[in-house]
Structure 1
Amino acid sequence: MEPQLQYATKRIVELESLLLVDVAETVWPAEVGMVYGQIENAGDLPAHHQRRLKHHINRMWLEKMPVPAIVTAAKSLASAMGEYA
């Protein structure tokens, strides 16, 4: 990985750790579970990536994005997270 991309990735992980407080148990709305269930291999991601994915799904839901757009974005995000798992 080239140095700039490596630095950017490291910085994103640092910022996410500040923004997304590690919570052992979170009760997600049913809508999050519905979308999360449509993401192939989401259950194969490490637990911290699964929580982040659910967080982003919840945020998109609260922003009233259309469900197909949320599913598409979540699949893309899960794929990217899988590369860094």
Structure 2
Amino acid sequence: MDPLLQYACRRVAELESLLLAEVSETVWPAEVGMVYSQIENAGDLPAHHQRRLQHHINRMWLERMPVPSIIAAARSLAAAMEEYV
């Protein structure tokens, strides 16, 4: 992998760790669950990746992105997360 891409991935993970506080359980809005349920293999991801995916879905929902765009972005994100399991 390109060193610049590796740096960017490490930096994103570092920033996410600052944004995503470790909590034992998060209650997500029903809209997040609706979108999350449409992502194939999301349940196969490790728990920390599932929380990140739900967090990103929630942020996109709060930013009022169209649901089809959220689903497409979440599928892409889940596919990328599968590579780093």
Q: Which residue pairs with 1:81 in the alignment?
A: 81
Cα distance in 2 between the residues matched to 1:45 and 1:13:
16
Which TM-score applies when normalising by structure 2?
A: 0.92
Q: Amino acid of the residue matched to residue 46 of structure 2?
A: P
Which TM-score applies when normalising by structure 1?
A: 0.92
TM superposition outliers: structure 1 runs of 4+ over 6 Å: none
Cα distance in 2 between the residues matched to 1:7 and 1:66:
31
Q: Which residue pairs with 2:35 in the alignment?
A: 35
Unaligned 5+ residue runs, structure 2?
A: none
Number of residue pairs the alignment of both structures matches: 85
1:16-48 CA distance string (max 9 Å, x none): 111111111000011100000000000011101
> Are 1:55 and 2:26 matched, yes or no?
no
Q: Amino acid of the residue matched to residue 6 of structure 2?
A: Q
Q: Amino acid of the residue matched to residue 47 of structure 2?
A: A
Q: Which residue pairs with 1:20 in the alignment?
A: 20
**Identity over the aligned pairs, expressed in percent?**
78
Q: Amino acid of the residue matched to residue 63 of structure 1?
A: E
RMSD: 1.0
